[in-house]
Amino acid sequence: MPREASPAEHALEARHISKYFGDHVALRNISLRVAGGDCVLLYGPNGAGKTTLLRVLASLARPDRGEVLLDGKKVRHDASSKFEIGFVSHASLLYGDLTVRENLRFTAHLFGLRHAEARINEALDLFAVRDRQAQLVRSLSRGLQQRVTLARALLHRPRFLLLDEPFTGLDAASAESLTSRLQHWTDKGIIFSTHSFEQGAAIARRLVVLEGGRLRYDGPFRHAPLAALGIRPSTEARGSKL
């Protein structure tokens, strides 16, 4: 992967995205730019369009209007952009009947990665699931599966990470480790959603608030008019129990 330019010059960008499901508006004219080094918390009530936006950015969903650009190039029909994006969704994207290692090997194969075994080991270590590598994914707990999913998303070393509720099911130690990882990946552009504002605020340097498919706020935390956005951080328990 060429890394000559400084991270901030790389950007994953949504331009005037609208997405409809029948007459329901999931996203309305959203523009968003995530540069390398950004760490963005995507926040909003249920049904605000967070998941849809992440799916559009990952080019899993086709927007009805607007387009997604990676480093200024359209993502659509551009297979090379897929190397740059790592995506974690509610679903694990793993085959229950394959072992952890087989799943990752399959992903490595799809991406045509060289030195696959070394990379798999690295990803497994990152999320402390190496000792589970021979187990069938079906037999893993939700939290362990989530860790494997994260390992899968990072396997091809993407420059942009789209994480939809990455903390779901993680125990305190894993959540802690993920938090510190997210804080330290300053070369990657990260955008993630979580239901706990506090937890997200501790990691992200930028806040994006969605509501009813509209962009309500995009900027640093300290300027955010939290009360106007209906966010009351003080009432939420610090570090949710999950």
Q: Looking only at residues 63 through 92 of this chain, which bind other proteins when binding is defined by CB under 8 A?
A: 64, 79-80, 82-83, 85, 87, 89, 91-92
Which of 106, 177, 198, 221 binds other proteins (CB under 8 A)? It is 106
The least CB distance from residue 107 to other proteins, in Å, is: 7
Does 229 engage in binding with other proteins (CB under 8 A)? no
Paired tokens of 138: 């079906």
**Distance from C-alpha of 28 to C-alpha of 18, rounded to nearest angstrom:** 5
Phi and psi at residue 42, in whole multiples of 5°?
-100, 115
Nearest Cα residue to 100 out of 80, 128, 75, 61:
128
Cβ distance to other proteins smaller for residue 59 or 179: 59
- The answer to whether 114 and 106 are in contact (CB under 8 A) is no
Q: What is the CA radius of gyration of the chain?
A: 18
Phi/psi for 165 (5° steps) reads 50, 60
Q: For the CB of residue 183, give the shortest distance to other proteins in the complex, in Å.
A: 25
d(Cα 137, Cα 102) in Å, to the nearest integer? 10
The distance of closest approach from Cβ of residue 165 to other proteins in the complex, given in angstroms and rounded to an integer, is 14
Count of residues of this chain found to bind other proteins when the rule CB under 8 A is applied: 40
Mark 29-48 with x for binding to other proteins (rule: CB under 8 A) and - for no binding.
--------------------
Q: Looking at the chain, which runs of residues are DSSP E strands?
A: 11-21, 24-35, 39-43, 65-70, 73-74, 85-88, 160-164, 189-193, 206-211, 214-220
For residue 51, what are its two tokens?
Answer: 């998941």
Touching other proteins, residues 1-30 (CB under 8 A): 20-25, 28
Considering the complex, state which of residue 24 and residue 114 has its C-beta at the smaller distance from other proteins: 24
By CB under 8 A, name the one of 3, 73, 74, 109 that touches other proteins.
Answer: 109
Of 94, 170, 191, 209, the one binding other proteins by CB under 8 A: 94
- Write out the residues near other proteins by the rule CB under 8 A: 20-25, 28, 55, 58, 60-62, 64, 79-80, 82-83, 85, 87, 89, 91-98, 102, 106-107, 109-112, 136, 152, 212-214
